[in-house]
Amino acid sequence: FKQEGQVTLIFHPLETGQEIKLKLRYSGEIDESVAYLDIPDKLFYKPKDNPFLPFVLGKRTAIVEKDFIFLTPEVMWYPSAVPPVNPMAPFCSGKDFTRFKLTVENPGELIFLSQGKEEKNKKQVSFHNEEPLTGISLCAGKFRKKNINMGKFNAEFYHFEKQPFFSNDLKIVTTNSIIEEYRDILHFNNLPDNPPFKLMLVETPLSITSFFRPWKKSSDFAQPEIFFWPERGATFNVNFKGLKNVHEKKGDPSMSDQRIQDHLRNYLIFQINREKIFHEDEKKNTNSWEKNKYNICPVLFRDTCFIQSEEFPIMDIMIKNILEEEAHFSFFTGRISPSPETIFALNYLDKHSLEEALQDKKLSEDILLEIIHYKKRDLLHYLSSCCRRDSIINLFREFLSNPYQIVSFEEIINTFKERFNTDIHSFIRSWYREKGLPTIIVQETQRGKIEGDRLNRYAAHIKLYNPTDINAIIRISFEDIRYWGPSSPSIRYHLIPAHSCKLIKMTNDNRYQIILYTGISHNIPNQLQLPPIPFSTKDTTNGIFDCEHNKSIISNKELTVDNEDEGFSLIEPTHERINSLFQNKSTRYNDRAYNANKWTKLYSFIYYGDVVKSVFYKIGGKGNYKARWETTITEPGEYEIFVYLPRVENLQNNLYSYGNGAKQHYLIEYKKETHEVILDLSKPYSFNEWFSLGTFTLGSGKTSVTLNDKGGPKQFIVADVIKWIKRK
């Protein structure tokens, strides 16, 4: 054999189906430096985990001392065929299912805890797993123990001697009150009713650290059958004393001490059964959702199986995420206004593949999660274009129902081919390795009643064009919102091949909305409500058909410049331009309208644009910030100039682009002539409306319209698109 650090290479031939017994003797000290190699240094060496604590606790990943022992699979303290994490591509980490037997000699006065059935005598304590596990932990200390039998499983709580169980400010929390919340957690999260053989809650010193891993949806504090609990709950991201003081200061007579304690206990329970928790920083007056390393939910699952693929190692996460989302199906898979992470994820995929993203150490975790999220949906939508969606879900569930097994993804591919007569291997390869984004151009949307139809149905015809070299995967619906479901016959999934145009025909019993989801594409936002043109037809056909795309005709009599076009520019004060060089790009974009004091981009399907539908907006100012649209007139004459103004509003903070004397100030320039136009927006207008700035005689050459930010402190100034229409 050969040893390289923590890896032992054993050179012994092993044929298919052959088994050997291997006996390995090893000794030495635990090397904590081998733990959490996938965690960035900036996060690993962050001094404080809990902002409410005034001191630094330490960063121990393992402890082997006279009075306390703490070991998890992360420090590789026992031989394993698969490492706990792939540090180069954590989302591609593997799993192995093993029946462990652990024996500890001369335990002394310490109570030793590990997974499996315990057998104990004066000389040793041993643990034997009745079911295969992905790893084992060992913890030992001077604990007090309490058993709580809950019928189907046994719960055990271990906490340190000679000190209170929990924070002095949370007196009502007892072992019963914590463990009895188990059933509520199961119910709230729709977890399967198959709790582990036993559940141990074990209190550990505050110096022990762990890190949230999104591919686990928790940290190493959550182990099979064991949940490691911080001493007295001190490192929970909860300021119990602060919360208690807030309730006491309110002086509400109905808020008795008992009710305050109940409220704090419920807040605690909320903290341990969520993947993310809400964090409010009172000093900075900010709030955010943060990853919760004390999420207990993974402990409540049994590992069913692991989908293994050397070629596509992300498939286990993808398929399990598909099944998890299916249990909470929502038709609105695209946001009205995409998050900054979505924008960055799509920009990344325009130049990189999923395979590259999984190995890119510079890519932020949030953006990688967004990439995986959208790739998961594209995978499901493509498979749903080959057969019924519920058939795919049933196939995946069928494979995952095999407990404690390694399932080959190639076996799933072969079963899919046999069952649905479709070979998906080539698609999976391009889905995993292809870079670049398609573009979907909606060329026609028609909806109307079918003439002479005895069922009184309505038809919808949608023409979609993909001018790019990349295949597009879309989902489209013509359905009653009350009956939306993952396998509804009026929800279609289609592949729009590169350089193709398709006509999609659908029928239903009413004039329902037509909603298009374009998935991973240049289209932003990627979910659109299509405005239909009324038409009359006798066509009752359903399906997707080849067709010719509409040729674009460039007219010199109608000129349009959108805020996404080259003719558009932003003009800002010098200090703002300098600041922008050092700011994160995400500060120029937000997924909702807020009190922005500089030009900020916002996306929505109600905004103007063929592919990208966006506006720039900011709060009213003194006129120092400007937006300019410029075009070239080739046919002199009289032109009426229109501005498109979608409504932008923040109801919570009473910020609007209209009402309360709102105005927008425009300057029209051509050659040496200028005209100032003030647009009165004091009355509410429709969500998307064109306003005329007047008619002007324009000669050949460049002409421009400039908007400045003059306005009130409660007014949004909005810049979207300008149109010049030749009248004479």
The domain in which residue 331 lies consists of 304-430
DSSP state, 482? G
| Same domain, yes or no: 17 and 54 | yes
| Same domain, yes or no: 79 and 39 | yes
Alpha-carbon gap, residue 199 to 140, rounded angstroms: 16
Alpha-carbon gap, residue 610 to 589, rounded angstroms: 20
Residue of 718, 701, 696 lying closest to 709 (CA atoms): 718
Q: What is the pLDDT of residue 660?
A: 81
Asked whether 465 and 489 are in contact (CB, 8 A), the reply is: no
Q: What is the pLDDT of residue 70?
A: 97
The phi, psi pair for 85, rounded to 5°, reads -155, 150
pTM > 0.75: yes
Q: Is residue 255 part of a domain?
A: no
Q: Is residue 281 part of a domain?
A: no
Sequence-ordered list of residues with C-beta below 8 angstroms from that of 423, at least 6 positions apart, any chain: 413, 417
Alpha-carbon gap, residue 329 to 323, rounded angstroms: 10
| Same domain, yes or no: 72 and 198 | yes
Alpha-carbon gap, residue 446 to 505, rounded angstroms: 10
Tens of pLDDT, residues 371-398: 999 999 999 999 999 999 999 999 999 9
Last residue within a domain, chosen from 230, 252, 283: 230
* DSSP for 285-316, written as a single string: TEEEEEE-TT--HHHHSPP-EEEE-SS-TTHH
Tens of pLDDT, residues 437-461: 999 999 999 999 999 888 889 999 9
Q: Is residue 553 part of a domain?
A: no
Asked whether 545 and 561 are in contact (CB, 8 A), the reply is: no
* DSSP for 154-183, written as a single string: EEEEEEETTS-SS-TT-TT--HHHHHTTHH
Sheet with 568-571: list strands edge to edge. Answer: 568-571, 626-633, 701-708, 663-670, 673-680
Matching residue, tokens 């409500």: 529
What's the average model confidence in pLDDT over 534-542?
92
Residue of 591, 645, 564 lying closest to 336 (CA atoms): 591
Q: Is residue 522 part of a domain?
A: yes
| Same domain, yes or no: 467 and 503 | yes
Q: Please return the burial class of 710, using the count of CB atoms within 10 Å of its CB with bins 0-12, 13-18 and 19+.
A: middle
| Same domain, yes or no: 506 and 578 | no
The CATH number of the domain holding residue 457 is: 2.60.40
CB neighbours (10 Å) of residue 623?
13
Q: What is the pLDDT of residue 191?
A: 46
Alpha-carbon gap, residue 218 to 291, rounded angstroms: 8
* DSSP for 698-727, written as a single string: E-SEEEEEEEE-B--TTBEEEE-EEEEEE-
| Same domain, yes or no: 627 and 682 | yes
Q: Is residue 398 part of a domain?
A: yes
The phi, psi pair for 49, rounded to 5°, reads -90, -35
| Same domain, yes or no: 81 and 226 | yes
The CATH number of the domain holding residue 662 is: 2.60.120.260
| Same domain, yes or no: 28 and 144 | yes
Q: How would residue 601 be classed by pLDDT, with cut points 50, 70 and 90?
A: very high
User: What is the tally of structural domains in the chain?
Assistant: 4
Tell whether the model's pLDDT for residue 190 goes beyond 70. Answer: no
b/e for 84-109, b at 16 or more Cβ within 10 A?
A: bbbeebbbbbbeebbebebebeeeee
Q: Which H or E run includes 470?
A: none
Tens of pLDDT, residues 15-51: 988 988 888 888 889 999 999 999 988 888 887 766 6
| Same domain, yes or no: 377 and 474 | no
SS3 262: helix
Residue 226's beta-bridge partner residues?
Answer: 200, 223
Residue of 78, 80, 128 lying closest to 101 (CA atoms): 128
Last residue within a domain, chosen from 381, 407, 430: 430
| Same domain, yes or no: 608 and 525 | no
Q: Is residue 272 part of a domain?
A: no
Tens of pLDDT, residues 70-127: 999 999 999 998 999 999 999 999 999 999 999 999 888 899 999 999 999 889 999 9
Asked whether 255 and 243 are in contact (CB, 8 A), the reply is: no
Matching residue, tokens 């979907």: 440
Q: What is the pLDDT of residue 242?
A: 60
Asked whether 357 and 363 are in contact (CB, 8 A), the reply is: yes
Alpha-carbon gap, residue 233 to 396, rounded angstroms: 39
| Same domain, yes or no: 461 and 419 | no
Tell whether the model's pLDDT for residue 677 goes beyond 90. Answer: yes
Last residue within a domain, chosen from 430, 449, 477: 430
Helices (H), 8-90: 41-44
Tens of pLDDT, residues 633-657: 999 999 999 999 998 888 767 788 8
| Same domain, yes or no: 69 and 212 | yes
Q: Assess whether the previous peptide bond of 525 is cis (omega < 30° from 0).
A: yes
Q: Is residue 321 part of a domain?
A: yes
Q: Is residue 37 part of a domain?
A: yes
